[in-house]
């Protein structure tokens, strides 16, 4: 199994910080959309990517959904 862990990432520029959230694979320095970003690490816990947030990067959400096609909505 080679599941890539996708977590929440933020852009490297301060202007970006907390305004937009990208989806990023743990260990990468670029988000799914290609933006330079860093995973958000809270102590030793990665903030999960939440595609439903209004500040989530639209390009990342599309790419994330392509990688996570099975979504259980209740
Ligand atoms: Zn993005």
The Å distance, Cα 63 to ligand 1 centre, comes to 9
- What does the pLDDT look like over 4-61, one tens digit per residue? 789 999 886 655 555 789 999 998 999 999 999 989 888 989 999 999 888 899 999 9
Q: Output the pTM of the full model.
A: 0.77
- Does residue 59 belong to any structural domain of this protein? yes
Q: How many domains does the chain have?
A: 1
61 within some domain: yes
Residues 6+ apart with CB under 8 A from 8: 21, 22, 23, 24, 39, 40, 46, 47, 48, 49, 50
Distance 49 CA to ligand 1 centre (A): 11
Residue 74 in any domain: the answer is no
pLDDT band at 68 (very low <50, low <70, confident <90, very high): confident
Domain of residue 18, residue span: 6-67
Q: How many CB atoms lie within 10 A of CB 48?
A: 12
Decide if 73 is inside a domain.
Answer: no
Does residue 31 or residue 69 have the better pLDDT? 31
Q: Is the pLDDT of residue 72 over 70?
A: no
| CA of residue 11 to ligand 1 center, whole Å | 8
Query: How far is ligand 1, taken at its centre, from the CA of residue 69, in Å?
Result: 18
In a domain, 72, yes or no: no
What is the model's pLDDT at position 18?
A: 58
């Amino acid at each position: 199994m080679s599941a890539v862990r996708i977590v929440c990432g933020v852009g490297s520029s301060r202007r970006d910080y907390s305004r937009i959230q990208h989806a990023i694979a743990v260990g990468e320095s670029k988000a799914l959309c290609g933006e330079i970003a860093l995973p958000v690490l809270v102590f030793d816990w990665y903030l999960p990517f939440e595609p439903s947030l209004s500040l989530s990067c639209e390009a990342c959400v599309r790419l994330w959904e392509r990688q996570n096609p099975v979504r259980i909505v209740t």
